[in-house]
Amino acid sequence: MTVVREERLSFEFPGNWHVIKYDECSFYRNQVAKSEDVKAVDLLADSGTDFFMIEIKDFRGSLNPVL
């Protein structure tokens, strides 16, 4: 099993999946991040048959409801 942490959240993937935190990989840091106003997904996950681009948002505690 592969466990990936993003801030306060943890994600578990089967051990045979290849998962990377895209914004921490060298390609993103050395090529993509140099461009102005470019954003990236958080995780890239490859199961061998499917490919996922995962954006993570944790809205707990950040919303202020207007009454």
What residue segments make up the domains of the chain, in order of their start?
A: 2-54
Beta strand segments in the chain, E = 2-6, 9-13, 18-21, 43-46, 51-54
What is the Cα–Cα distance from 24 to 5, expressed in whole angstroms?
A: 12
**pLDDT (0 to 100) of residue 43:** 94
Lowest mean pLDDT segment, chosen from 14-18, 34-38, 55-59? 34-38
Residues 18 and 43 sit within 8 Å (Cβ to Cβ)? no
What is the Cα–Cα distance from 27 to 47, expressed in whole angstroms?
A: 21
pTM of the model as a whole: 0.73
